[in-house]
Amino acid sequence: MTKIIGLTGGIGSGKTTVARFFSEFGIPVYIADDEARKLTELPGTLAQIRDKIGSEVFDGNSLVREKLAAAVFNDPEKLSQLNAIIHPLVKQHFDNWVRAHSNEPFVIKETAILFESGSYLDCDVIVTVTAPLESRIERVLKRDKTSRENILNRMRNQWPDEKRISKSDYTIDNTSLTATKNQVIDLLKKLTIQQN
């Protein structure tokens, strides 16, 4: 039976870097944000977003992601409506993906909102990636070309590390790439022993 490893962490923690290391060791990785983005572009999804969130987040027939983010960011009701559209689609897509990888001992599901979305309930093992606050802010500043204030706002909307760690089986400290990769190797050894 394929084991699902949930991989999570706050913005800038380096979840994607850790996911890439798992992938290098031959473990199939599902990046939920990337898949959600693709599923959002489907005509049926766009129609639901226009219906629930409003046509002001569109430019003609194209969804403008910045406008969508701004619309839901300060409106909990709109955010929950958007989640009600996207989360079931991602869950179904992920379930199909897991079935397609049913001959694998493990698969990784990488998502920032593993706990918030309730998808941690489908995981056999949960791994949280952490990093010092300033490193996280620096990484996101480089990656997203945004402001420090914006990043801190996004962090305030996510679970704090302590809360994630308390519900996780393992923690990976992503401060140095070499040490991070070694932690991934150690974790894979532990998981393989448990599997056998």
* CA distance linking residue 45 with residue 81, whole number of Å: 12
All domains in the chain, ordered by first residue: 1-28+104-196 (3.40.50.300), 35-100 (3.40.50.300)
* CA distance linking residue 29 with residue 5, whole number of Å: 9
Q: What is the pLDDT of residue 86?
A: 93
pTM score of the predicted model: 0.90
Q: What is the pLDDT of residue 17?
A: 95
Q: What is the pLDDT of residue 43?
A: 94
pLDDT in tens, the chain (196 residues): 899 999 999 999 999 999 999 999 999 999 999 999 999 999 999 999 999 999 999 999 999 998 998 888 778 899 889 999 999 999 999 999 999 999 999 999 999 889 988 899 999 999 999 999 999 999 999 998 888 988 898 888 889 999 999 999 999 999 999 999 999 999 999 998 887 6
What is the secondary structure of the chain as a DSSP string?
A: -PEEEEEEE-TTS-HHHHHHHHHHTT--EEEHHHHHHHHHTSHHHHHHHHHHT-GGGEETTEE-HHHHHHHHHT-HHHHHHHHHHHHHHHHHHHHHHHHHTTTSSEEEEE-TTTTTTSGGGG-SEEEEEE--HHHHHHHHHHHH---HHHHHHHHHTS--HHHHHHT-SEEEE-SSHHHHHHHHHHHHHHHHHHH-
Q: What is the pLDDT of residue 5?
A: 97
